[in-house]
Structure 1
Amino acid sequence: MRVRRLAVSVAAILVVIGGTAAYVMSAATDAKQPAGAEAVSQAKTGDLLFVDLAGGQNRVEKLAEGGARTPTDLACQRFYTSAGTSVCLKLSGPGPSYAAEISRDGKPVKTVPLPGIPSRAKVSKSGNIVSWTSFVTGDSYSVPGGFSTRTGFFDIRTGETVESIEHFAATVEGAPLTASDANYWGLTVGENDLTFYATLASGGFTWLVKGDLVSKSVTSLRRDAECPSLSPDGTKVAYKKRIGRLGPWDLAVLDLTTNEEKRLPGTAGIDDQTTWLSDTEVAFAAVPKDARLPAVHIAPADGSKPAEVLIPDATSPSPVT
């Protein structure tokens, strides 16, 4: 199903996004900061790729265990890699215009034009399914923020490209969703390359939904969950969740077996799709207190201690698998 499109200028969209970013930075500054956030953590995370923000070039760098950093030739707004498949959401031309560049074992496979500003990027554990989300210029769904997102995916095995999942059949709280304002973001795909989780928004509410890429359908699981990320073993989903109705987000982890939700300390101000470094540890980007740019943080998924900064002035953490 398609939504009604309202003419909105690119400038207006950027103002809204800028305001949202400023709000998140303010919220993160005011929130209680995690212990050790002033220094780089010495956690043993193994090799990690990330986007360096300090130089203004959005260069993808590699952090080796022990702290050594090595720049690559890639420049991306968002980046992710898994099992030899990488996706780089990047500026592709004037306008500005953007694209998702997909590679396999270092060789280009597909370039997918994006309808707006890059927001989220993921690759399934197998490396077979690449997904992305972008802010769409020229759309308005009459929801908080005044702009929409578009989520799509690419199957590297078949070449299937789905630029938007808005046409997927949705069942929300037991009833078919027929509203014209359905909006998705933050798609994360399971080990079987069929099952996925995402955020569905409609009528001012958000839901964590579980879906199927073949039947092209989704079913809601719970309200107030955004930007989900599935753990490597498929037993947990991490997502951002607002503190109060209009407060900043913090990070929560849902156990899919027990349906128990646990909020993680030291994560207030997050505005990111979490990365799982292992079945027990997550990484995400957030703006630390008194900082200008986001930093990559790490935290135990069981909430046993607060998050701490791993890489200052960085985003898009992605373990090398």
Structure 2
Amino acid sequence: MKKLVIALAATAVLAAAAVTYVVSARQDTAEAGPAAQLTLAPGQLLFRSVSTGRVGAVPLTDPTAKPQLSGLKCDRFAVAKQTAVCLAVQPGTLPAVTDVLVLDGRFGVRHTESLPGTPSRARVSPDGKRVYWTLFVTGDSYAATGFSTRAGIYTVDSGRLTKSIEELPVFTGGKRYFAPDVNYWGITFAADGNRFYATLGSKGRTYLVEADYGRFRGKTLRENVECPSLSPDGTRVAFKKKTAEGTWRLSVLELASLKETELAETRSVDDQALWQDDHTVLYGLDNAVWAVPADGSGTPRQLVADAASPAVTG
């Protein structure tokens, strides 16, 4: 028991240090250069500047162009249609508190939620009607590592807020799955804005869950799938597959056959990938945004340096 308490305390210290680093980095670079007036006009690759925390943009047709950086600072960022979401840690809050900012096509704030935790993942449904996120939180009694996740959903039109999908009933092998340590992360919605996929983590294992938001129930499809990202045509999921402790391989899963294809990126990718289109997958790695073919061919290519959290406007 003494060892467990020490381990939990050490984890809490590390989590606090991580939050402090994020907040300090954002404050130190607050005055870095004039702010551009960005919009969600089509044909852009948007991203979070790693060095400044500011949201930037380059043309999809010329990602090597000089980026335009806005005044908006986020720790995670995502877009779809004329909706964007920005996750930003509130400076000086311990335990950490994150502002979830729902933005319009001109980066105006439509809605704000302040929730406990530090940002991990963010997405917007393809129709722009829902935003969703994953936050790391500390203090759950069942969390042996000292932290757990909260995956939430906000419906833009109705204002409906689901702070956590932790109570989502999930069936595996036809039977309802119950466990005190269930966590969800990495939500990705289909084009209909109702069907979604997410990772379920429990007892040291991860599962791909397919769920119906309206009925609020789901089922597991297969094991060892984290941070799924649904392709625009709705037939495949890009995900990170754990190959060793702290190491993941970027792969694509065909939903109909459950056939898996490892992508040409052989380095460990700890990110929720993004589909640029039905043929190309984007991801953040080594403080840059990269692209790789979705069929396992080719080689990775760097698109933008000093960048993370890629987002594409259609």
Q: TM-score range by the shorter chain?
A: 0.7 to 0.9
Q: Name the counterpart of 1:82.
A: 80
The 1:51–1:14 alpha-carbon spacing in structure 2 relative to 1, beyond 3 Å, is farther
Confirm or deny: 8 A CA contact 1:130 1:155 kept in the other structure: yes
* Corresponding letter in the other structure for 1:263: E
Counterpart in the other structure of 2:131: 130
TM-score, normalised with respect to structure 2: 0.83
Q: Is the alpha carbon distance of 1:247 and 1:173 closer, same or farther for their aligned partners in structure 2, counting shifts above 3 Å?
A: farther
Q: Secondary structure at the match of 1:243?
A: strand
Deviations 1:50-92 (A, max 9, x none): 00113xx201100123222111121000000110000000023
Task: Tell me the number of residue pairs that the alignment of Structure 1 and Structure 2 aligns.
Answer: 281
Cα distance in structure 2, aligned partners of 1:127 and 1:177: 31
Superposed displacement of residue 239, structure 1: 0.5
Aligned residue runs from structure 1 range 265-284, under 5 A:
265-284=264-283
* CA distance in 1 between partners of 2:229 and 2:13 (Å): 26
**Corresponding residue for residue 183 of structure 2:** 183
Letter in 2 for 1:295: A
Structure 1: which 5+ residue stretches go unaligned?
A: 1-5, 20-44, 288-293
Change (3 A) 1:188 1:47: same
- 2:203 maps to 203
| 8 Å Cα contact 1:140-1:148 kept in structure 2 | no
Q: Kindly provide the amino acid, as one letter, of the partner of residue 163 in structure 2.
A: E
Deviation of the 1:257 alpha carbon: 2.5
- Gapped runs of 5+ residues in structure 2? 19-41
Counterpart CA distance in 2 for 1:14 and 1:152 is 25
Within 5 A, what are the aligned runs for 1:157-306?
Answer: 157-244=157-244, 246=245, 248-287=247-286, 294-306=287-299
Q: What is the percent sequence identity of the aligned residues? A: 39
Aligned twin of 1:311: 304
The answer to whether the 8 A contact 1:8-1:137 is kept is no
RMSD of aligned Cα (Å):
2.3
Equivalent residue for 1:97? 97
CA distance in 2, matches of 1:18, 1:189: 33
Retained in 2: the 8 A contact 1:166–1:183? yes
- How far is the alpha carbon of 1:93 from its aligned partner? 4.3
How has the CA–CA distance of structure 1 residues 305 and 14 changed in structure 2, closer, same or farther, with 3 Å as cutoff? Answer: farther
Instruction: Check 1:123–1:136 CA distance in 2 against 1; reply closer, same or farther (3 A cut).
Output: same
Q: Give the aligned partner of residue 31 of structure 1.
A: none
Structure with the larger RCO, 1 or 2 (CA within 8 Å, 6+ apart)? 1
2:54 to 59, 65, 87: 59
Equivalent pair of 2:209/2:220 in contact (CA under 8 Å): yes
| Distance in 2 of aligned mates of 1:61 and 1:140 | 39
Query: Is this contact kept in 2: 1:9–1:137, CA < 8 A?
Result: no
State the Cα distance separating 1:17 from its structure 2 match.
9.0
Once the two structures are TM-superposed, the CA of residue 173 in structure 1 deviates from its matched residue by: 3.3
What corresponds to 1:33 in structure 2? none
Provide the C-alpha distance between the structure 2 equivalents of 1:210 and 1:257, rounded to a whole number of angstroms.
12
CA distance, structure 2, for counterparts of residue 180 and residue 195 of structure 1: 25
What secondary structure is seen at the aligned counterpart in 1 of 2:11?
helix
Contact 2:139/2:146 (CA < 8 Å) preserved in 1? Answer: no
Deviation at 1:203, TM superposition (A): 1.1
2:71 equivalent in structure 1: 73
- Deviation string 1:202-259 (CA, Å, 9 cap, x unpaired) is 1111000000111111100000000000011111100000124x36101110111332
More displaced 10-residue stretch of structure 1: 90-99 or 246-255 = 90-99
Cα shift at 1:306: 2.4
1:295–1:221 Cα change, 3 Å: same
- Matches of 1:49 and 1:176 in 2, distance apart? 40
